[in-house]
Amino acid sequence: MINILLNKYNLKKHDIFLLLDNMLENKVDFGDIYFQLKEQEAWILDNKIIKQGSYFYDKGVGIRAVKDISTSFSYTNSITLKNLIYFTNMVCNMIVNVKNNIIKKQLYSDFKSMYPQFNPINNDYIEKKIYILNYIDRLARQQDSRVTDVYAVLTCEYEEIIIGSTDDRSVLSDIRPLIHITIQVTVEQNNSREIGTSGGGGRFRINEFFKKNTNKGTLIDTWTKEAVRIALLSLFAKPSPSGLFPVILGPGWPGILFHEAVGHGLEGDFIRKKTSVFSKKKGHRVASTLCTIVDNGTLNSKRGSINIDDEGVPSQYNVLIKDGILKSFLQDKLNAHIMNKKSTGNGRRESYAHLPMPRMTNTYLLAGIDTPTDIINSVDYGIYAVNFSGGQVDITSGNFVFTTSEAYLIKNGKIIHPIKDATLIGSGTEVMQSISMVGNNLCIDDGIGSCVKNGQNIPVNVGQPTIKIDRLTIGGTY
């Protein structure tokens, strides 16, 4: 596959090793060359009309050299051997020369891919894309006469990468497809108007949208009906109470709380700079003994999965917190190099024009032994938060604010009625200590998440089972 991709630029794998040799002759600690070709399209359905909303195409190369704690970096979208030699020399000349290495020319490209390698933007799929959007519109309107508008966006991405690296003596490549659907349904009743949103996606073929999803129909059926259900539910939701209550978080997407309030604080750059609340807590208890949190980039076809990271390191299953004890951090090559550690396969970047940094892939809390019913029954008066619509987190302190998009009031172990405008306010470290029950129903979200860090946007997944937090501040309207 590497030769096929390089042929597009009239390059050979020998040329890549020539550039890597040049880096080592300039005595850098390590360096890499990152090729990327990316296509993206979006098809939009709005008010029963389908239109091709946008198309994006870009290709280029990023070249990086590292010496001690210094990094030099440049990129170009003019991909010729002459240009690459020029930019390689330029970044090397910016680094202080101290030692020398010799690179052994090897090629590593054989791995079992965790997702199909195809281009979803291929014109052969156009009729399927049009059918999917029309189907969503028809199905949503069939669910209830109060549905007044259906808006859906089908996004397809195709990415090719080639990574040449001096430190592990390799040239690697990958093809990363990604498809995603967002469905937004508007309902109206008695001059009240509400919106419900659902959707998902991953690194799988378009036909997977029509695969049976247990007893709920296909993925498209499930997500469309879910958007309608949430919109209708909001019509009858009552104002949320405010105060300090037990809170139950549902499975799946509520795991975004751990991604934001815990996961980011375990990324190597924040640890090295000592700006994370977890900087000096490795080996210490940071959570309830019921909590084991992992970052796993090896899940088949998931949105956050990667065969290799953007530095050529194979994706891994990393245990971050085990039975409440902080075990490890997420590392890219640079921070691992400075901290005298190993990369964990978490060096990710948005594009060739960006430097890699430690980022999450699929981050989730492992399942426990409690049933969701037992967890709900254990609450005399509290909140059941099923889904979030947004939030903010301070990585240095772990403090967070999350707004629910679906939540319920619990009384005497029973779900009473839906509530709206509930805001969860707290500290990630305190929440981790306050988890007293963990469900047996681990669920990874449907593939709706993207993570932004230092202006770079990448796809991720989150997940968790149903959990009980003994005490959490709820901001409500009464």
Tell me the CATH number at 47.
3.30.2290.10
121-132 burial code (b ≥16 CB/10 A, e <16): beeebeebbeeb
For residue 284, what are the CA distances in angstroms to 19, 273, 324, 325? 44, 19, 8, 5
Confidence of residue 60 (pLDDT cuts 50, 70, 90): very high
Q: How far is 247 from 291, CA to CA, in rounded Å?
A: 16
**pLDDT 10s digits, 300-341:** 999 999 999 999 999 999 999 999 999 999 999 999 999 999
The reported pLDDT for the residue numbered 111 is 64
**pLDDT 10s digits, 142-190:** 999 999 999 999 999 999 999 999 987 789 999 999 999 999 999 999 9
Residues 190 and 206 occupy one common structural domain: yes
- CB of 476 closer than 8 Å to CB of 421: yes
% of the chain beyond a pLDDT of 90: 81
Residues 264 and 157 occupy one common structural domain: no
* Mean pLDDT over each residue of the chain, to the nearest integer: 92
Average pLDDT over residues 250-268: 93
- Which of 202, 235, 268 lies at the terminal end of a domain, its last residue? 235
Among 92-96, 402-406, 451-455, the least confident range? 92-96
Q: Is the pLDDT of residue 96 over 70?
A: no
- CB of 291 closer than 8 Å to CB of 434: no
**pLDDT 10s digits, 191-225:** 999 999 999 999 999 999 988 766 678 999 999 99
Residues 203 and 304 occupy one common structural domain: no
Q: Which domain holds residue 13?
A: 2-235
Residues 170 and 211 occupy one common structural domain: yes
DSSP state of 11: -
Residues 294 and 226 occupy one common structural domain: no
The reported pLDDT for the residue numbered 106 is 40
The reported pLDDT for the residue numbered 466 is 98
More confident residue, 459 or 101: 459
What are the beta bridge partners of residue 58? 38
343's CB contacts (< 8 A; 6+ apart) are: 309, 311, 313, 331, 332, 333, 336
Number of structural domains (the chain) is: 2
Residues 172 and 247 occupy one common structural domain: no
Residues 156 and 267 occupy one common structural domain: no
Model-level pTM? 0.93
Residues 229 and 262 occupy one common structural domain: no
Q: How far is 18 from 94, CA to CA, in rounded Å?
A: 19
Q: How far is 87 from 187, CA to CA, in rounded Å?
A: 56
User: In terms of DSSP bridges, do strands 347-348 and 357-358 run parallel, antiparallel, or are they unpaired?
Assistant: antiparallel
- CB of 353 closer than 8 Å to CB of 76: no
Average pLDDT over residues 110-116: 81
Q: Is the pLDDT of residue 110 over 70?
A: no
**pLDDT 10s digits, 389-418:** 877 778 777 789 999 999 999 999 999 999
User: In terms of DSSP bridges, do strands 456-464 and 362-365 run parallel, antiparallel, or are they unpaired?
Assistant: parallel
361's CB contacts (< 8 A; 6+ apart) are: 295, 296, 297, 304, 305, 306, 315, 346, 348, 460, 461
Residues 379 and 400 occupy one common structural domain: yes
- Which of 235, 256, 274 lies at the terminal end of a domain, its last residue? 235
Q: Is the pLDDT of residue 468 over 70?
A: yes
Residues 376 and 449 occupy one common structural domain: yes
Confidence of residue 104 (pLDDT cuts 50, 70, 90): very low
Structure token digits, residue 461? 């997944």
- Which of 235, 267, 291 lies at the terminal end of a domain, its last residue? 235
**pLDDT 10s digits, 119-138:** 999 888 899 999 999 999 99
Residues 412 and 433 occupy one common structural domain: yes
Confidence of residue 272 (pLDDT cuts 50, 70, 90): very high
More confident residue, 3 or 6: 6
Q: Is the pLDDT of residue 290 over 60?
A: yes
Residues 347 and 401 occupy one common structural domain: yes
% of the chain beyond a pLDDT of 70: 96
Q: How far is 442 from 323, CA to CA, in rounded Å?
A: 16
